[in-house]
Chains A and B, each alone.
Chain A
Amino acid sequence: MSQPLHLTEKDFWKHQSVRKIWDQIVPGEPIETLPHTLSLEEIHRYCRAVGDLNPLYFDEAHARKSPYKGLIAPPTIHILLMFTCTPIDYYMRAPGTINAGQSWSYNIPARPGDTITLHARALDKFIRKDRLFVIHDNVFFNQHSQVICSGRGWTIRPE
């Protein structure tokens, strides 16, 4: 079975015409999201990209003996989940989107095999120093409806 487009498309210029621009973003309006089953391979690819080879993420025997009782994903796996759980037309993929800052709170770890869902919306938008800002509100849940993490991001939108 071929992978869905939002997991494979690397050219963010494609589909740009169907993404909302700053003018069209309505704070408070939920964005469409997609559930995603997180694989061990995805966790490991992310860990290697930031050089984080903690045995809790890689060594099943070590992880089983830990308080976590099994392999977990690093807290920052939400960096990947933001793109696995949103469709190709989500405006976070708009070329030129500049990440200005983030804050995230962590509740319980995501684990390989978890089916993750995202509740997301723009919370606020404003103009400061001639730049177009949006505040993003994101909460990730596992298949048991437990909160994994919640985050607030600031982006500068392309004009």
Chain B
Amino acid sequence: MTQTFETVNIGFTITGGKFSPTRETIREFCEASLDHNPLHLDDQYMKGSFGKTAFGGIIMHGMTHFGLMTKMLTEWLYPIGGIHRRLETRWLTPVKPGDTIQPSARVRQKKQTTHTNWIVLDLEMRNQRGELVARGESLAEFPPLEHSAKTK
């Protein structure tokens, strides 16, 4: 049965696909985003320290988390008429080539406002060791059917 705002329960969890960044995928993201910051490209540069932070090698773009979390959310939402409205993330641990990361989201709250319906989700990104590497929160809108045409 297709999920609706009414049938999605608090605690419902979705899991996204695993992603294993490599030097090639990071370079591909540089080309696709035009973000050629040496943090993602230059091993020699990354041997240095950045104030209090030393990375020891190139790192994946933080915004890749944004893309992967959004993919997970929109794959769930598009088919059931939900609209991805907001994503907030904090990056906790750098992700490096050789890591494998996987996002998940859990419904924390449902709320009806004057004109529409909202679902708040807590998001996590964990690596192959189970470590939390990014955390987030998102908001999905489920317009009442009579209003849905206006939202596009």
Contacts and interface: CB of A to CB of B under 8 A. Distances in A.
Contacts of A80: 32-34
B132 interface: no
Given A12-B38, A95-B37, A156-B51, A56 B78 contact: yes
Given A66-B78, A76-B66, 4 more contacts: A10-B30, A50-B29, A96-B37, A105-B86
Interface stretch (A26-34, A41-49, A112-120): A41-49
Nearest to B88: A103
B34 A75 contact: no
Interface residues of B, number: 45
A147 to B, nearest CB: 12
Judged by DSSP, the binding face of A is: mixed
A61 to B, nearest CB: 16
Interface of B: 17, 19, 25, 28-39, 45, 50-53, 61-64, 66-68, 70-71, 74-75, 78, 81, 83-91, 148-149, 152
A99 to B, nearest CB: 4
Contacts of B90: 100-101
Contacts of A105: 85-86
Interface of A: 6-7, 9-13, 42, 45-46, 48-52, 54, 56, 66-69, 74-76, 79-80, 82-84, 93, 95-106, 108, 129-131, 156, 158-159
A9 B85 CA distance: 33
Given A48-B28, A49-B31, A158 B50 contact: yes
A131 B91 contact: no
A69 to B, nearest CB: 7
A68 B151 CA distance: 10
